[in-house]
Amino acid sequence: MSTALSESEIERLRLACDLLENPSLAARISHMVGTPVEQGFELLPERWSEVVNAATRKAIESTLHIAVGTMDGSHRGTPSNWWHKAAATATGATGGAFGLAALAIELPISTAIMLRSIADIARSEGEALDDPEVRMQCLQVLALGGPSRKDDAAEIGYFAARAAMSRAVSEAASHIARKGLAEQSAPAIARLISQVASRFSIVVSEKAAAQAVPLIGAFGGAAINTIFIDHFQDMARGHFIVRRLERSHGTEKVRRMYAELSGDESEPELLP
């Protein structure tokens, strides 16, 4: 194992840090539509959060096997970000045309496209998609895009989010290694899906609020979905760059360098 990161590796880690600590999805959407996402929340109907939460969980449950389990793990090369982005844009146009009522239909499709894109990026960074741990890492990326409702701070750091979910990821991967993805109601998988959905639903809520703004329509829905998938492609690229460097140099060294690059002077929290 190398004792120090090379200059090129430090630059890759700097890129990962920039991607993972970038502005939130809400900030990106607000910049695009010219209206704070918070105004969109006021336009959503009563009990909309229940609709979003139910749609989010169902989307993750229904797309996990299709999105990750069917990809060829042996292929390497540049990920097809443009193709996945185009597909997400098309589904966003449909969702934008029909508003919140279409969320339950549009979200599972968008989520499946995003998970395939995340898996494609993971594969390009040397991950083996036939490894249950890697599949769960792909799912975890959906939780890196926003804080949990249980988080005290408005924002939570990348490594803190990973640490909060590390046990659930490990237990779900272990279960899948023994019994496969067929038993998605098993407690280990259900816990992970619940934790991911808790964070992912907040980002989905921001997307739904933006699409509730009058005159957004199909064009705006397509643009919002483009930003939506672009956001998670950035999270995936940063996450799997970090994991590649951790495989070469160990977790502690990479995390200390990440903390230095991000300007976080606190002691980095190590994962179990």
Residue tagged 């339950």 (tokens): 104
- Is 271 within a domain? no
| Res 114 pLDDT > 80 | yes
Tokens of 170: 């490990």
- Is 163 within a domain? yes
> Which residues, in sequence order, are CB contacts of 69 under 8 Å at separation 6+?
135, 181
pLDDT score for 46: 74
- Is 230 within a domain? yes
- Is 215 within a domain? yes
Q: Rounded to 10 degrees, what is the CA torsion of 45, 48, 52, 58? A: -110
| Res 243 pLDDT > 80 | yes
pTM greater than the 0.75 cutoff: yes
Range with the poorest average pLDDT among 58-72, 119-133, 135-149: 58-72
* Percent of the chain clearing pLDDT 90 (strictly above): 29
| Distance (Å, whole) CA 257 – CA 10 | 8
User: What range defines the domain where residue 137 resides?
Assistant: 7-262
| Res 260 pLDDT > 70 | yes
Total of domains in the chain:
1
Q: Rounded to 10 degrees, what is the CA torsion of 124, 126, 128, 132? A: -100
| Span 44-62, average pLDDT | 83
- Is 269 within a domain? no
- Is 213 within a domain? yes
- Is 270 within a domain? no
Computed over every residue of the chain, the mean pLDDT equals: 78
**Among 152, 135, 240, 110, which Cα is nearest to 193's?**
135
- Is 1 within a domain? no
